[in-house]
Structure 1
Amino acid sequence: MFNCDSTQCVAAHTNNIHDVSIHDTNWLITTARRKCGVTDKDSEVRTALSFTRRVHGYDNLRLKNQKVAVASRHRDHTGYAKGENMSVLKSLKLSDAKPAAQSKTPAERAREKLIGNLALQKDLAKATIEGRVFVPPKRWVSRTNEDGVRVRVETPRRVRKCWFEDGNRTTHFVMQYGGRPLEIAKGKTAIEVGPLANLPTLIDGLIEAVRAGEFDTALSNAAAERGRLLNRNGRPKAN
Structure 2
Amino acid sequence: MTTATALSTLKLTDARKPTQASPQVQRRNKLIRRIWQQTELARAHASGGQFTIKRFRTFTDVTTGARKQIETDVRVKPWWFTAANGKLAISVRYGSRVLEIAPKKLAVEVGTERDLIAVLDTIKAAVTAGELDAQIESAATILRAAFAK
Question: Which category of TM-score, normalised to the shorter sequence, fits these structures?
Answer: 0.7 to 0.9
Q: Aligned letter for 1:135?
A: F
2:26 is matched with which residue? 109
Answer with 223-232 or 166-175: which moved more. Answer: 166-175
Tell me, in whole angstroms, the C-alpha distance in 2 between the residues paired with 1:204 and 1:171: 16
Structure 2 length-normalised TM: 0.80
1:144 is matched with which residue? 60
Once the two structures are superposed, residues 97-152 of structure 1 have per-residue CA deviations (whole angstroms, 9 ceiling, x without a partner) of 89543310011111111011111111111221222x22322122222334354433
Deviation, 1:172, is 0.6
Tell me, in whole angstroms, the C-alpha distance in 2 between the residues paired with 1:200 and 1:166: 18
1:44 is matched with which residue? none
Q: Aligned letter for 2:55?
A: R
What SS does the aligned partner of 1:185 have? coil
Do structure 1's residue 185 and structure 2's residue 102 form an aligned pair? Answer: yes
1:122 is matched with which residue? 39
Once the two structures are superposed, residues 196-219 of structure 1 have per-residue CA deviations (whole angstroms, 9 ceiling, x without a partner) of 211100001111111100011111
Give the share of equivalent positions with the same residue, in percent.
33
More helix by share: 1
* Contact persistence 2:91–2:98 (CA under 8 A): yes
Do structure 1's residue 174 and structure 2's residue 91 form an aligned pair? Answer: yes
Do structure 1's residue 210 and structure 2's residue 127 form an aligned pair? Answer: yes
Larger Rg: 1
Tell me, in whole angstroms, the C-alpha distance in 2 between the residues paired with 1:185 and 1:144: 46
Q: Aligned letter for 1:218?
A: Q
The change in CA–CA distance for 1:151 and 1:231 in structure 2 (over 3 A counts) is same
What SS does the aligned partner of 1:157 have? strand
Do structure 1's residue 223 and structure 2's residue 114 form an aligned pair? Answer: no
Structure 1 length-normalised TM: 0.52
Q: Aligned letter for 1:182?
A: L
The change in CA–CA distance for 1:168 and 1:189 in structure 2 (over 3 A counts) is closer
Deviation, 1:181, is 1.5
Once the two structures are superposed, residues 170-214 of structure 1 have per-residue CA deviations (whole angstroms, 9 ceiling, x without a partner) of 001011111321222344321111112111000011111111000
Tell me, in whole angstroms, the C-alpha distance in 2 between the residues paired with 1:99 and 1:146: 47
What SS does the aligned partner of 2:50 have? coil
Aligned-CA RMSD value: 2.0
The list of structure 1 runs, each at least 4 consecutive aligned residues, that deviate by more than 6 angstroms after superposition, is none
The number of aligned residues is 135
What SS does the aligned partner of 1:134 have? coil
Tell me, in whole angstroms, the C-alpha distance in 2 between the residues paired with 1:166 and 1:99: 49
What SS does the aligned partner of 1:172 have? strand
More strand by share: 2
1:161 is matched with which residue? 78
Tell me, in whole angstroms, the C-alpha distance in 2 between the residues paired with 1:171 and 1:134: 20
Q: Aligned letter for 2:82?
A: E
The structure whose RCO (Cα within 8 Å, separation 6+) is larger is 2
What SS does the aligned partner of 1:138 have? strand
